[in-house]
Amino acid sequence: MDIAKTNRLSLVEQIVSQIESLIESGAWEVGSRIPPELELMQQLDVSRNTLREAIRALVHAGLLQTKQGSGTYVCSSSTLGAALQKRLQKANLIEILEVRHALEREAARLAAIRRNKEDLDDIQTHLEACHEAAEAKDSKTYVEADIQLHKAIVNASHNRMLVDLYEQMSAPLQQSVHNLSEITCHSDFHHHVHRKLVEAIIGQDTDLAAEAVNEYIEQFIETLT
């Protein structure tokens, strides 16, 4: 049997790996500007050409973005997130809603099985925030509360891969909520389904939880088609 020889990582690949770790750990947050070139050269003990090649690789991968005259910024927390962002930019709202449907339906089902007291407290807090924003007809506050409610339900699934995937898709998902905020904020039906979803999770009724997700996503799609 032929066994390929192992290859040592090049210096550029080592720098790329170190910077990826800084981003994924949160040491370099999304939206933040990375340290100046000279400072990084000194910290990493590499030449300007090596550093620039590593930065170019990370820009191409979608983790970093270089702005002329301003610097280089972190634009995604992982290579998975960057790849998803590129793909989702080409998707229409219906496609995003269909993906959202799949993720939130499974999250709701798992949350109904695995939720704990802390999860339920978090979910109910955001549910009440949705209700209060709707009563005040405050669409902006409602959108944020709605996003946090669904994130709390996904967190209650206690499936790290599902949580990470949903988090990486948060920007386009948030945009889908923004686009539909006038429908949801003033819709008695939507508030009713929210409560139905939360009550199903409290009662550990997996079928009812999935049904509630089906109802509000189908309403969104029907409104747009």
Query: What local confidence, expressed as pLDDT, does residue 38 receive?
Result: 93
Length of the chain in terms of residues written: 225
Between CA 167 and CA 14 the distance in angstroms is 27
Radius of gyration of the chain (CA): 21
Query: What local confidence, expressed as pLDDT, does residue 5 receive?
Result: 47
Domain 91-224 falls in which CATH fold?
Four Helix Bundle (Hemerythrin (Met), subunit A) (1.20.120)
> Over 80: is that where the pLDDT of 149 sits?
yes
- From first CA to last CA, the distance across the chain in angstroms is 58
SS3 category, 42: helix
The neighbouring-strand residues paired with 208 are none
Q: What is the pLDDT of residues 155-205, one digit of tens each?
A: 999 999 899 888 877 666 666 665 665 555 556 767 889 999 999 999 999
Q: What is the pLDDT of residues 10-32, one digit of tens each?
A: 899 999 999 988 988 889 988 89
Confidence of residue 210 (pLDDT cuts 50, 70, 90): very high
Structure token pair of residue 190? 């939507």
Supply the mean pLDDT for the chain: 85
What does pTM read for this prediction?
Answer: 0.68
- Containing H/E element for 99? helix 93-114
- Containing H/E element for 155? helix 139-155
Between CA 166 and CA 158 the distance in angstroms is 12
Backbone angles phi, psi at 65, to 5 degrees: -135, 130
Percent of the chain with pLDDT over 90: 48
* pLDDT greater at residue 69 or residue 225: 69
> Over 80: is that where the pLDDT of 81 sits?
no
Answer whether 73's CB lies under 8 Å from 158's CB.
no
Residues in Cβ contact with 97 at an 8 Å cutoff, skipping those fewer than 6 apart: 176, 217, 220, 221, 224
Q: What count of other Cβ atoms lies within 10 Å of the Cβ of residue 150?
A: 24
Answer whether 74's CB lies under 8 Å from 61's CB.
no
Confidence of residue 77 (pLDDT cuts 50, 70, 90): confident
Architecture of the domain made up of 11-79: Orthogonal Bundle (1.10)
Q: What is the pLDDT of residues 27-68, one digit of tens each?
A: 998 889 999 999 999 999 999 999 999 999 998 888 898 998
Query: What local confidence, expressed as pLDDT, does residue 32 receive?
Result: 92
Query: What local confidence, expressed as pLDDT, does residue 6 receive?
Result: 43
- Extents of the domains making up the chain: 11-79, 91-224
Query: What local confidence, expressed as pLDDT, does residue 220 receive?
Result: 80
CA-to-CA dists, residue 60 to 55, 57, 64, 79, 122, angstroms: 9, 5, 8, 10, 38
Residues in Cβ contact with 70 at an 8 Å cutoff, skipping those fewer than 6 apart: 33
